[in-house]
Structure 1
Amino acid sequence: GITGEVLPLLACLADPSFASALGGFAPLLIKAMLVLYVPASPFMYMNMVKNRKGAFKKRFAKPPPPPKAPVGAEFPEDSKGGRSTSEAGKKAFAAAIGGSGVGEAEAAAAKCAGERSWRFGYNKHITKLVRLSCESPAAGLGSAKAGLGWMYENMVYHSPDQTLRGPFGATVDKVTGSFETGAVRGGKQSPPPGYRVPYDAGWHPSRPRPPPTGPSDCLSGKALKAQAAEWAAGGIIEPDAAEALCWLSDHFDKGESLQDVYVVMIGAGSAMGPFPKLMEMGATVVAIDIPGAWGKGGPRPASAVWRRLCDTARGSAGSLVFPLSKPQSQCATDEELYEAAGCDLMKQPGEIANWLCEWQKTLPDSAKVMIGNYTYLDGELHVKLALCADHCTQR
């Protein structure tokens, strides 16, 4: 390659007509270039060797390994063999729009399904869904059921050993596995009297310190109900939230407790969840959260979540129930118990639902059972979480 560049330059110097080119400056320019080739040619040669190696490496590279089979809840394959979250979302919303049953629902659903630029055009279809759902309670419920129905029929589920594969709803019900049960009882005999809400009349989440929690810094009784009414009137909280606070205040002022209340918390370790308050008031919480064995040996092991939950339960009047990967009697230490606790909601929804149903059969007839989903992740992971949590709730 270098020879092919140098020979034409030498040929130009031998041509008499080239001597007067560029006002006689052309021969000097060619000679300067030839001089530069002496120190630069080794670098040029090595660069060509490097490019040749790279070209051969790409030409004879081994084919990439086939993608691993999905485990747990996953988006359906599209026409190109991928798993487009946008395409799945578009179809789910189209089904929800059609499920409202309102007069223009069918045309609106078809328009949604035919949207070519979903990334930039989804907002108008979701706005339409909300408007149609607000037509009546039946329309709202119909939209929700139709959207969820599409998810159950089109999202897929793969068991870890790949023996179960297919549509999420029909496949996850075939799972037969379950968990062992762990329990931690609170050390207090009874919850504190009344229902108190910490409040310092000026606290804001942006402040670095939480409000004081002493008896004089809490609202209760008539003061709590008056403040709740003021918040509702000012639009700070919804009216039904104020009514709930007033009901709770009256409930506990009568000497009632949560001793017969069982709350299944999917995402019990969530910061937005009511776990500490439920423990304080004497409820039994069935905690679903990430496996404690995750991150073992790392800077942020998941066992810390279960240590926090168990420590909170021990210092309260409530009780904590949770799934275990092995019997609690085989956990020699608390740390071993924390590492055995928990489950993977996205990969084990069937096992979790089976375990919850088995646990529910052990409750007395007077038990009041409720379930709430407090999980959150970004993007497509949250869709999978929500679907798996809904399966557990329906079971």
Structure 2
Amino acid sequence: MADAPHGLVFPLDPAGQNRTDGPPRRSTTATGRGVVADALRPVDAVGARAAERETAWRTQYLPWFRLLVEAGLATPDDAVAVARGGLDSLHARMRVMTGEDDGSDVALADWPRSTAGFGQVEMHGAGEPLRELVLPYRGERLRGDDVRRRVEQWVLAGVVEPTLAEAVDAVVANPDWLRLEGRTVAVVGAGSEMGPLQALTRWGARVAAIDLPREDVWERVSDTAVAGAGTVVAPAVEGRPGADLLADVPALADWLAEQPGTLVLGNYVYADGATNVRVSTAVDELSRRLLEARDDAALAFLATPTDVFAVPGDAVDQALAAYSGRGRLSKGLGRPLRTVSGGRLLQRPYAGPADPGLNDSLVPQQGPNYALAKRLQRWRATVARHEGRLVSMNVAPPTRTRSVVKNRALAAAYAGAHRFGVEVFDPSTSNVLMAAMLVHDLHTGGGPRHEHPWQDEAYAAAHGGLWRAAYSPRSALGLAALLGVGGARG
């Protein structure tokens, strides 16, 4: 995504509107801080006022994103109120440039429709559909009971929640689910490494692929489509596939609303920096319009494991037992490290037994815009599910994607994470596992319904061990990076 100001943009910063040294400034900090405060306001007015007064947002945003989860734990209605408050605030604040030379913009709800809509191109697979779940894992292709055994080993190691085994077992036992007959799955961010395009086309599904009108992206998408066994359709202008989410949401909403079968809108977008919030807001506006236009529309998301989650009591117990059961060497090294770091290194994972506990795996290097973009998706999932819509929202494992490994600090931390009980997945494994979870959710009404939204988020979470490891994740991050430098370079 280009960062040039076009289409969906942040609001103008009042302090910078009358600049003479360049175009008016659009503030990401003021927007992010304001959205967090507005999300807190319905349930924690004191916290909202304190968030508004935070002067060092870029470096001190972590506690506020933690508070957003804490504030919603008292009752299910509180969690929904936080989510709705955040969504309403972001939609009220973000703007759409009209294309006029004076830089004028309009509200998101007033996004002008383009005069021309999208045509469509179709790509058909030439292969035979895979009729069973095949999970790539460390050079092997696991099937049937081998898939079940692998998931059980992850459960025993604390890498995934036990409920993931239930979900995967259901998919293995029902291979006819894989084709997703009678549905069109819109994969927004079709070129994403974490997206399900390849798995779905191998299984014979019908996919509506949406990504930028870039030749390299659509070469990959076309190759994937032809190698598969399904049908891939894409929005197109004069036969050229692709769309710009920052500019084309109204036309995309019209195009998707006409797709046959039950519509599933899957959000797999990612962009660097502030553009991540812009494209995530664009997909959310697309979601809002499609939910309004179609009673059958379902939503799908992948939550990042590097966020704050309420977690089950047994996850807390396993993590505390791991902390208590450290070897003599680990305990001996831990004390001086905590002393010299002012208590920041190798902290206990949780203060004590709790149900739910609060796992804080936010990574400062990812920044407040990344945190807001990912939290936006969780908010939409919470509200849509509360309103009775089918939602597939799953915590995806830490994965060596290009967007992660290009950040040296994160790449090194991932390379050393195994020393602290965290498994980082290859993209091929994460991709198929999360696609299987999507299939499970679409055939089970979004998975089991729980009393509180945090329980829906925790169901079948593949957090890589971040919830059940012996140390608070952020307190081990620096040492993991130090130990993983060689592996990351390799």
TM-score (norm 2): 0.53
Shift of 1:354: 2.0
- Match in the other structure for 1:93: 36
- Match in the other structure for 1:46: none
Q: State the distance in 1 between where 2:162 and 2:151 align.
A: 9
- Match in the other structure for 2:280: 386
Local SS of the residue matching 1:320: strand
Which of 60, 77, 87 pairs up with 1:121?
Answer: 60
CA offset digits 1:75-126 (Å, max 9, x no partner): 1112211212111111010011114x3xxx1111111112233234322222
Answer yes or no: is 1:172 the counterpart of 2:111: yes
Residue 124 to residue 84, structure 1, CA distance change in 2 (3 Å): same
Query: Which amino acid in 2 is paired with 1:195?
Result: L
Shift of 1:134: 2.8
Q: State the distance in 1 between where 2:114 and 2:13 align.
A: 26
Task: Map residues 189-268 of structure 1 onto 2, 5 A cutoff.
Answer: 190-199=128-137, 203=138, 211=139, 217-252=140-175, 257-268=179-190
Shift of 1:227: 2.1
Local SS of the residue matching 2:174: helix
| C-alpha contact (below 8 Å) 2:201/2:224 kept by paired residues | yes
Query: Which amino acid in 1 is paired with 2:198?
Result: P
- Match in the other structure for 1:64: none
Which of 138, 152, 156 pairs up with 2:95?
Answer: 156
Structure 1 unmatched ranges of 5 or more: 1-68, 204-210, 212-216, 293-302, 329-339
Which of 45, 52, 60 pairs up with 1:106?
Answer: 45
Local SS of the residue matching 2:271: coil
Residue 317 to residue 163, structure 1, CA distance change in 2 (3 Å): farther
Q: State the distance in 2 between where 1:169 and 1:347 align.
A: 11
Query: Which amino acid in 2 is paired with 1:126?
Result: F
Q: State the distance in 2 between where 1:169 and 1:106 align.
A: 26
| C-alpha contact (below 8 Å) 2:92/2:107 kept by paired residues | yes
Say which is worse superposed, 369-378 or 111-120, in terms of deviation. Answer: 111-120
Shift of 1:286: 0.6
| C-alpha contact (below 8 Å) 2:155/2:161 kept by paired residues | yes
- Match in the other structure for 1:181: 120
Task: Map residues 365-376 of structure 1 onto 2, 5 A cutoff.
Answer: 367-376=261-270
Query: Which amino acid in 2 is paired with 1:192?
Result: L
Local SS of the residue matching 2:186: strand
Which of 130, 138, 143 pairs up with 2:77?
Answer: 138
RMSD: 2.3
Aligned residues: 278
Q: State the distance in 2 between where 1:75 and 1:244 align.
A: 39
CA offset digits 1:104-151 (Å, max 9, x no partner): x11111111122332343222222112112333322222122111111
* Larger relative contact order, structure 1 or 2 (CA cutoff 8 Å, min sep 6): 2
| C-alpha contact (below 8 Å) 1:152/1:167 kept by paired residues | no
Structure 2 unmatched ranges of 5 or more: 18-24, 290-490
Query: Which amino acid in 1 is paired with 2:255?
Result: W
Query: Which amino acid in 2 is paired with 1:343?
Result: A
Percent of aligned positions with the same letter in both sequences? 30
- Match in the other structure for 1:50: none
Shift of 1:163: 11
Shift of 1:349: 1.9
| C-alpha contact (below 8 Å) 2:8/2:282 kept by paired residues | yes
Q: State the distance in 2 between where 1:95 and 1:263 align.
A: 33
Q: State the distance in 2 between where 1:351 and 1:255 align.
A: 31
Q: State the distance in 2 between where 1:76 and 1:123 align.
A: 23
| C-alpha contact (below 8 Å) 1:180/1:325 kept by paired residues | yes
Local SS of the residue matching 2:179: coil
| C-alpha contact (below 8 Å) 2:113/2:251 kept by paired residues | no
- Match in the other structure for 1:356: 256
Q: State the distance in 2 between where 1:394 and 1:250 align.
A: 34
Query: Which amino acid in 1 is paired with 2:84?
Result: K
Q: State the distance in 2 between where 1:193 and 1:78 align.
A: 54
Query: Which amino acid in 2 is paired with 1:119?
Result: R
Shift of 1:270: 0.7
Runs of 4+ in 1 over 6 A off after TM superposition: none
Residue 227 to residue 164, structure 1, CA distance change in 2 (3 Å): same
